[in-house]
Each structure stands twice: as C-alpha cells, then as structure tokens.
Amino acid sequence: MFSVGDTVVCSNGVCRVEKIGPLAGMGKSVANKKYYTLRPCFDAAATIYVPVEGDDEALRFALGKEEVRKLMNEIEDLDQINISDEKKRELEYKNAVNSKDPRKLIRIIKTMYFRRKARIESGKKSTAIDERYFRIAENRLYEEMALALEIDRDEVKDYIRSYIEKK
C-alpha cells in the first residue's frame, strides 16, 4: 500500500499520491471503494484516480537515485529486442511499455539506438512502430529518472546514451 506523498509510476507516468480515500460525488458503487488520488509530476493540471484494491498491478514505487544508478550499470547486460517480424516486435514493445518495468523500457531505448544507427547507415528510416514505442519508452523512463536524479528531463537522454555507448 502506498502513502500520501509517495512518488509512484502508473500507466500515465510518474505521479505523487495526494490523497487516499473514497471519491466524493461519484455514486454509491464508487463511494464504497478507496482510491489513490494521483497528481502527475509533469502535468500538474491532471488528476488520476486508481483503486487501492489491485494497486500492485497498477502502480509501483518510482525509482530512487541509487536504483537509477544500479539500473544504468545493468544496461550493457540488457539484451536488445531482436525480432525481425514487425507484428511480433510491436507486441514485445507494447508488453514492455505496459509492464511499467524500467529495464524493459531501457531495452526498447537501447534497441532503437542501435536499430536507428544501422538503418541510417543503410539509407533507411526508422519504422513508425519503432518510433512510436521509442517515444513512449522515453517519456515514461525519462520523467522517472529526471525526478530521481534531480536533473532536467532533457538531460536524461544524454545520460542514458553515455551508458549505451560504453558497449
């Protein structure tokens, strides 16, 4: 169970838990359940409600500074996604971004870094599917890492690239 003030990750990104309790004015079926009221860290105008029941599937604690550093040291060992069938690769990407697992997001980013490089060298562009899931992975991971490392979101890209290029 999470507490007010915790930083969590959900399908919408990194959020802070603002309140825990029933939702007022939403009808009896909702009023009997407890919800987390979440405020996205990078969109202060939005509010997200997640049922407390089943929170282990919908939310996880955001990474801390040491966890991010540990994750960066694992980049070299994380395999790229080498699936030539585009539909199967898209399914792998989709499962990765829906898992909320930062390692899977890094695998997408690492894969795209090298796929882009190879495609550009052979005179090709990235596929639309690759680009779409790359942007999703970047957005989700970069927000979380920026908060943990207390750096600007735009600096995270170079931070990750420096670890990927160590290979």
Rounded to two decimals, the pTM is 0.85
What's the pLDDT at 11? 83
Residue 73 lies in a domain: yes
Structural domain boundaries, residue 128: 65-164
Helix or strand holding residue 160 (H, E): helix 153-164
116-165: pLDDT as tens digits:
999 999 999 988 999 999 999 998 899 999 999 999 988 999 999 888 88
What's the pLDDT at 55? 73
The whole-chain average pLDDT of the chain stands at 90
DSSP 24-92: TTS-HHHHTS-EEEEEETT-TT--EEEESTTHHHH-EEPP-HHHHHHHHHHGGGSPP----SHHHHHHH
pLDDT above 70: percentage of residues in the chain: 95
Instruction: HSE, CB side, 13 Å, CA atoms: give it for residue 144.
Output: 31
Residue 153 lies in a domain: yes
66-82: pLDDT as tens digits:
999 999 999 989 999 99
Say if residue 86 is in the same domain as residue 21.
no
Helix or strand holding residue 16 (H, E): strand 13-21
Say if residue 93 is in the same domain as residue 134.
yes
Residue 49 lies in a domain: yes
Residue 39 lies in a domain: yes
**At 156, which CATH number?**
1.20.58.1290
Identify the three-state secondary structure at position 138. helix
Say if residue 90 is in the same domain as residue 54.
no
Residue 70 lies in a domain: yes
CA dihedral 114, 76, 83, 138 (to 10 degrees): -60
Residue 2 lies in a domain: no
What's the pLDDT at 28? 63
Read off the pLDDT band of 25 (50, 70, 90): low
What's the pLDDT at 30? 63
Say if residue 88 is in the same domain as residue 71.
yes
Other C-beta atoms within 10 Å of 36: how many? Answer: 25
Read off the pLDDT band of 26 (50, 70, 90): low
Question: What is the number of domains present in the chain?
Answer: 2
Distances (CA, A) of 165 to 9, 76, 110, 117, 137: 27, 9, 9, 12, 18
29-87: pLDDT as tens digits:
566 789 999 999 988 899 999 999 877 788 999 999 999 999 999 998 999 999 989 89
Say if residue 125 is in the same domain as residue 155.
yes
Say if residue 55 is in the same domain as residue 71.
no
Pairing, β 48-51 against β 60-61 = unpaired
Residue 41 lies in a domain: yes
Say if residue 94 is in the same domain as residue 146.
yes
